[in-house]
Structure 1
Amino acid sequence: MSLYQHEVQYYETDRMGITHHSNYIRWMEEARVAFLKEIGWDYAKLEEMGIISPVIDVQCQYKNTTTFADKVMIETTVKKFSGIKLILQYEMKNEAGKIVALAESAHCFLDRDGKMLRLAKQFPAFYQALCNEEAKE
């Protein structure tokens, strides 16, 4: 589990004064990058190793609105990891602890040529780190 804080920027709001829905997906990426860094596998390191991890599915349920300058805490957890596919779960809360969004993103792991990687065989330390995070849940 990883906690990441995002402060809503003015440009992220729409004409109604609330955060535009597309920004929550961007915050998920920020939280995901922070999560991987926290467990010792930041994106730069993965890319140096030749691992890319595209998003293959994303879902977001909007529960409450946020507005300019709100602070949103994003808890990122590993929901499921098969060694081939990783599903991350995000719980976003405002400063009062009220859930503003619940989301998931699914990822696969490819080499630079776009070929599927089998992390258990090819990158066992990274595989084990993700298994350890799944076990925490």
Structure 2
Amino acid sequence: MHRFPIRVYYEDTDMGGVVYYANYLRYIERARSDWVRKLGNDQNAMREAGLIWVVQRVEADYRVPARFDDELLIETEVLKVSPARLIMGQRVMRDKVELFRAKVTVACVTAEGKPQRLPAEIRALS
């Protein structure tokens, strides 16, 4: 399980000081990028080689709102790996309270959008 801390800044919130719903997707994207980097996957090198990560599907549940200045922890775990897709579960936590949960399916494609096999270090997670 990968853990990634984030603090809620004023710019993340609406007028009521509650995190704007779309920002949860930004938070989990940052956590996935950090996780991939720590696995040794160089996304810049991939892009230069003509491969990019794309999100194919997101299922999201908003449970409890986060608020301005909260310290959050994004947890990412691998649920399933196939040669061409990676499915991850992600949770946004405040202390031990789950605020947001998502199931995210990602894949690799060429710059033209043609599906490609996942990088070896990712396929090895299966």
Q: If the length of structure 2 is used for normalisation, what is the TM-score?
A: 0.90
**Retained in 2: the 8 A contact 1:2–1:38?**
no
State the distance in 1 between where 2:91 and 2:105 align.
15
Cα shift at 1:42: 3.3
Equivalent in the alignment of 1:85: 85
State the 1:39 CA deviation: 0.4
Q: What corresponds to 1:58 in structure 2?
A: 58
Deviation track 1:55-111 (CA, whole Å, cap 9, x = no partner) reads 1111211121111111110111111111111112102111x2211111121112111
Letter in 2 for 1:104: K
Distance of 1:81 and 1:3 partners within structure 2: 19
Structure with the higher fraction of residues in helix conformation: 1
Unaligned 5+ segments in structure 2 are: none
| Corresponding residue number in structure 1 for 2:122 | 130
- Which residue identity does 1:89 align to in structure 2? G
Q: Is the 8 A contact 1:77 1:133 kept in 2?
A: no
Structure 1 pair 42–75 and aligned structure 2 pair: CA distance change class (3 A)? farther
CA contact (8 A) 2:62 2:99 kept: yes
How many aligned residue pairs are there? 126
Q: Equivalents in 2 of 1:2, 1:74: separation in Å?
A: 8
Q: CA RMSD in A?
A: 1.5
Matched letter for residue 76 of structure 1: T
Give the conservation status (yes or no) of the 8 Å contact 1:33–1:42: no
Identity over aligned pairs, percent: 28
Measured after TM superposition, the shift of residue 9 of structure 1 is 1.0
What is the distance in 1 between the residues matched to 2:108 and 2:50? 10
